[in-house]
A and B are shown apart, each in its own frame.
Chain A
């Protein structure tokens, strides 16, 4: 592995940051960050959450102005006063959360904010459509220019975002965690697009915290840690282990496969029979799902996003009405569509949308920790709440679950991703649940937090809780689960013992090939 900060003297540099420092009250988000992106390369920015990747991309796109340091674009120093200046300099960004207007068409979204072609006083969208089709063809970004955004899948919307940047003649494309929202085939398509852009002499800055994809996509990788740039390495010379060591500053062990089979005699804590549900768009999202979870086991649900997993956990949690079927928790039937009944029966639920569903972002950590217990003593002395009890319990839970924050009075909005998840787990695991339903438990978390979350899950299982783990990360499902249920188009195609599980078989089932399991 070679660490070089002066590499590429012979190659043209598309954009460079030199000694960039950006401070916020109480934090130095970027502390002397330097890196160079060559013309025609895919350059990854790798770092844990909070390493300064997002701040750096905001500096590069003119959203923030660095307190110190220089930006160099195509050999000349630049100062960006606004995102407009960055666009004019040929730097475009695809944000993790898309910035598209759902009711506008693809073409309308793309020309929005540009000097659109006109015929007389009217927009000449036809000319724009032609240009978009040309770019789409060149970079393998299939999308219908006349479709409205709301009709498109997430992957297609991302292509629109990329086309938007290309349409503005960007020479440098910054992509923030682009694969987080994509299915595996879509990721392959994205990688092909990025390679063809590099081949066309453009540069791509690929922001990620996933070691595997960074080594697969990038030519070179700049590692950020604690706001500093640690160094730039050639992807070809790097391994996941070496990069992980750079990222966190010490060697990390990967998730070990653990055998978690339970005896047939263990009681069933969650019994789902012939469950149906309707999705948000009125489609049948679940077809006759049968699934049991026993005390002390983790049942993993694998599948490509959008095959009914979300609806399944929402129905169990009482947030979505059932269209037929039964749910029993520890022998007791769940009757109403209401979150209260499952909670009372001992169902804990850690949703995928942690900040938007699991927490009230403006409330403090302490307040969020009693979200499901605020009605009853000891937290409540009706009609009042007992803040001394709430604060004392918060301090205790924060210590047990290693939540790092200035105090229990910090709004959860200010926490990092890992600490947000720890607050959620602290609340959901400390209520002595019978069943824990958890969706994408480590999505967006850094390496250290992933290990903590996995350990907490294994601890809670050891105490006899039945866990239903829904995750799009197949490695995670396979590493943690005793049994794996594969979902496809609202059905469970097969339930496989993890000991017999084979990635290729599960992969085919995820794609709907039933014969594969036979």
Chain B
């Protein structure tokens, strides 16, 4: 397509204004809302009232906000998972699977410790188990990419299905350690509840209820930010991500950096899985996990946050709000697919908006004039 026909053209940017980090995602977000509005109009809904109901049920009263914080917690972890990996050009699409594995190892640890373990022992060990499980699951595509040059998009995506099947097997198709086998007669298969002491706390802040998982996620996000901006390893990440040949020239080991970052990325999603068990579900619930699709939504969160870990905290709450409103509004006049469609549109518009990070729009004129320079400036 030739934009010149419409009086505009794209020119490469020679500078990168600071405001871009903010204006482009915000603009993309509103463009997605606009596209969603067109869709709502076509299906006979009123976009303004629909959007205002979403805002109401997401952010405008205490119950809504509490629900939003619950929905935001897993998104925060999967958002960090995608953000840290994408930063070095390792396209980990496997947050979904790493999340399941974290839920499996996290719940497994709580169950193994049993009712005798105190919370201050059980919870840190659950966190550790979830992180390690997710890290190992993500290290597989990491190692394949670093040393065999396998495309990590494919391998990490395929591992999602394997992880999902493992989770289903543990609860539905075997008498595993995770499955609740007590009770009599024909009962629907479900996961064993973890001991009460291993339940993650919810902290009250006035009438707000803040899940421990969300606080943990925020702390981890800040840690990631420090790691990327202030440490030697973060420096290696930037060199390996932007210029792998240069990294080798400087004596770095790009393969090792990729594997470590893949593992950190998987640990994020694994933590999310452990948090989902510890804070909310209290048992391994494969169907529930699969329905939520937190791993994929995390990619939307990371993209809208422009891969900045601290920004992921806020974007997770924003997207968590939309998700939460979607649950509570579901009904005849609120199509259940709407939230998924909005997430898709946001991702689409955000990636499209990235063009404006690298190029600027200039006006073209029939006659040569100074206009182009003024518009571009």
Kindly identify, within residues 236 to 255 of chain B, every residue whose CB is under 8 Å from any CB belonging to chain A.
Answer: 236, 238-239, 242-243, 245-251
Distance of B239 from chain A, by nearest CB (Å) = 5
B251–A340 touching, CB < 8 Å: yes
B14–A25 touching, CB < 8 Å: yes
Q: Is B140 an interface residue (CB 8 A)?
A: no
Q: Is B184 an interface residue (CB 8 A)?
A: no
**Which B residues touch A466, using CB under 8 A?**
none
Known: A339-B248, A361-B242. A25 touches B366 (CB 8 A): no
B368–A375 touching, CB < 8 Å: no
Kindly identify, within residues 140 to 167 of chain B, every residue whose CB is under 8 Å from any CB belonging to chain A.
Answer: none
Produce 1/0 per residue, A345-379, CB < 8 A to B: 00001010100111111110001000110110000
Most chain B beta carbons < 10 A, residue from A24, A69, A338, A382? A24
Contact of B368 among A68, A84, A361 (CB under 8 A): A68
Distance of A201 from chain B, by nearest CB (Å) = 29
Distance of B374 from chain A, by nearest CB (Å) = 9
CB-nearest residue of chain B to A367: B235
Produce 1/0 per residue, A87-108, CB < 8 A to B: 0000000000000000000000
Known: A65-B364, A79-B366. A359 touches B246 (CB 8 A): yes
Q: Is B370 an interface residue (CB 8 A)?
A: yes
B231–A384 touching, CB < 8 Å: yes
Produce 1/0 per residue, B115-135, CB < 8 A to A: 000000000000000000000
Query: What's the interface size class on B, roughly?
Result: 35 or more
Known: A68-B370, A69-B368, A375-B232. A81 touches B15 (CB 8 A): no
B2–A82 touching, CB < 8 Å: yes
Produce 1/0 per residue, A20-53, CB < 8 A to B: 0001111100000000000000000000000000
Contact of A27 among B14, B250, B370 (CB under 8 A): B14
B238–A360 touching, CB < 8 Å: yes
A414–B246 touching, CB < 8 Å: no
Kindly identify, within residues 11 to 30 of chain B, every residue whose CB is under 8 Å from any CB belonging to chain A.
Answer: 11, 14-15
Produce 1/0 per residue, B38-61, CB < 8 A to A: 000000000000000000000000
B372–A65 touching, CB < 8 Å: yes
Contact of B243 among A27, A317, A359, A382 (CB under 8 A): A359
**Which A residues touch B9, using CB under 8 A?**
65, 81
B249–A351 touching, CB < 8 Å: yes
Contact of A317 among B14, B242, B249 (CB under 8 A): B249
Known: A65-B364, A81-B364. A338 touches B243 (CB 8 A): no
Known: A26-B15, A343-B251, A349-B249. A371 touches B239 (CB 8 A): yes
Kindly identify, within residues 324 to 353 of chain A, every residue whose CB is under 8 Å from any CB belonging to chain B.
Answer: 338-340, 343, 349, 351, 353
Known: A70-B368, A81-B2. A384 touches B15 (CB 8 A): no
Cα distance A70–B366 in the bound complex, in angstroms: 12
Q: Is B373 an interface residue (CB 8 A)?
A: yes
Count residues of A near B (Cβ-Cβ below 8 Å). Answer: 46
A339–B242 touching, CB < 8 Å: no
Produce 1/0 per residue, A253-279, CB < 8 A to B: 000000000000000000000000000
**Which A residues touch B251, using CB under 8 A?**
318, 338-340, 343, 372
Known: A65-B364, A82-B4, A317-B249. A24 touches B14 (CB 8 A): yes
Q: Is A441 an interface residue (CB 8 A)?
A: no
Cα distance A356–B249 in the bound complex, in angstroms: 10
A374–B235 touching, CB < 8 Å: yes
**Which B residues touch A65, using CB under 8 A?**
9, 364, 368, 372
CB-nearest residue of chain A to B362: A65
Q: Is A385 an interface residue (CB 8 A)?
A: yes
Kindly identify, within residues 59 to 92 of chain A, every residue whose CB is under 8 Å from any CB belonging to chain B.
Answer: 64-70, 79, 81-82, 84
Distance of B263 from chain A, by nearest CB (Å) = 17
A358–B368 touching, CB < 8 Å: no
**Which B residues touch A26, using CB under 8 A?**
14-15
Kindly identify, within residues 206 to 252 of chain B, every residue whose CB is under 8 Å from any CB belonging to chain A.
Answer: 230-236, 238-239, 242-243, 245-251
**Which B residues touch A360, using CB under 8 A?**
238-239, 242-243, 246-247
CB-nearest residue of chain A to B377: A25
Contact of B232 among A318, A374, A414 (CB under 8 A): A374
Most chain B beta carbons < 10 A, residue from A25, A64, A79, A353? A25
Q: Is A12 an interface residue (CB 8 A)?
A: no
**Which B residues touch A319, using CB under 8 A?**
248-249
Q: Is B369 an interface residue (CB 8 A)?
A: yes
CB-nearest residue of chain B to A381: B232
Distance of B244 from chain A, by nearest CB (Å) = 10
A23–B230 touching, CB < 8 Å: no
Q: Is B340 an interface residue (CB 8 A)?
A: no
Cα distance A64–B372 in the bound complex, in angstroms: 11
B243–A385 touching, CB < 8 Å: no
**Which A residues touch B235, using CB under 8 A?**
367, 374, 385
**Which A residues touch B250, using CB under 8 A?**
339, 343, 371-372
Q: Is A113 an interface residue (CB 8 A)?
A: no
B373–A361 touching, CB < 8 Å: no
B14–A79 touching, CB < 8 Å: no
Contact of A356 among B11, B245, B369, B370 (CB under 8 A): B245
Most chain B beta carbons < 10 A, residue from A349, A371, A387? A371
A67–B368 touching, CB < 8 Å: yes
**Which B residues touch A387, using CB under 8 A?**
230
Q: Is B376 an interface residue (CB 8 A)?
A: yes
Q: Is A185 an interface residue (CB 8 A)?
A: no
Produce 1/0 per residue, B69-81, CB < 8 A to A: 0000000000000
Cα distance A84–B376 in the bound complex, in angstroms: 23
Known: A360-B239, A363-B238. A385 touches B232 (CB 8 A): yes
CB-nearest residue of chain B to A20: B368
CB-nearest residue of chain A to B366: A79
A382–B248 touching, CB < 8 Å: no
**Which B residues touch A353, using CB under 8 A?**
245
Cα distance A189–B362 in the bound complex, in angstroms: 42
Kindly identify, within residues 368 to 403 of chain A, every residue whose CB is under 8 Å from any CB belonging to chain B.
Answer: 371-372, 374-375, 380, 382-385, 387
A64–B369 touching, CB < 8 Å: no
Distance of A406 from chain B, by nearest CB (Å) = 10
**Which B residues touch A25, using CB under 8 A?**
14-15, 376-377
**Which A residues touch B243, using CB under 8 A?**
356, 359-363
**Which B residues touch A375, using CB under 8 A?**
232
Cα distance A27–B234 in the bound complex, in angstroms: 34
Known: A64-B11, A317-B249. A383 touches B232 (CB 8 A): yes
CB-nearest residue of chain B to A80: B4
Most chain A beta carbons < 10 A, residue from B234, B251, B377? B251
B366–A384 touching, CB < 8 Å: no
Contact of B249 among A23, A357, A382, A414 (CB under 8 A): A357
Report 29 cross-chain contacts, Cβ distance below 8 Å, ordered by A residue: A24-B14, A65-B368, A65-B372, A67-B370, A67-B373, A68-B368, A81-B2, A82-B2, A82-B4, A318-B251, A339-B250, A351-B249, A353-B245, A356-B243, A356-B246, A362-B243, A363-B238, A371-B239, A374-B232, A374-B235, A374-B236, A375-B232, A382-B232, A383-B233, A384-B231, A385-B232, A385-B234, A385-B235, A414-B14
7 new A-B contacts, CB < 8 A, other than A67-B368, A371-B250, are A65-B9, A82-B4, A338-B251, A340-B251, A358-B249, A374-B235, A374-B236
> Which residues from chain B sit less than 8 Å from chain A, CB to CB?
2, 4-5, 9, 11, 14-15, 230-236, 238-239, 242-243, 245-251, 364, 366-370, 372-373, 376-377
> Which residues from chain A sit less than 8 Å from chain B, CB to CB?
23-27, 64-70, 79, 81-82, 84, 317-319, 338-340, 343, 349, 351, 353, 356-363, 367, 371-372, 374-375, 380, 382-385, 387, 414
Interface pairs A-B: 8 shortest CB-CB: A340-B251, A81-B4, A360-B243, A339-B251, A362-B242, A371-B250, A23-B373, A67-B373
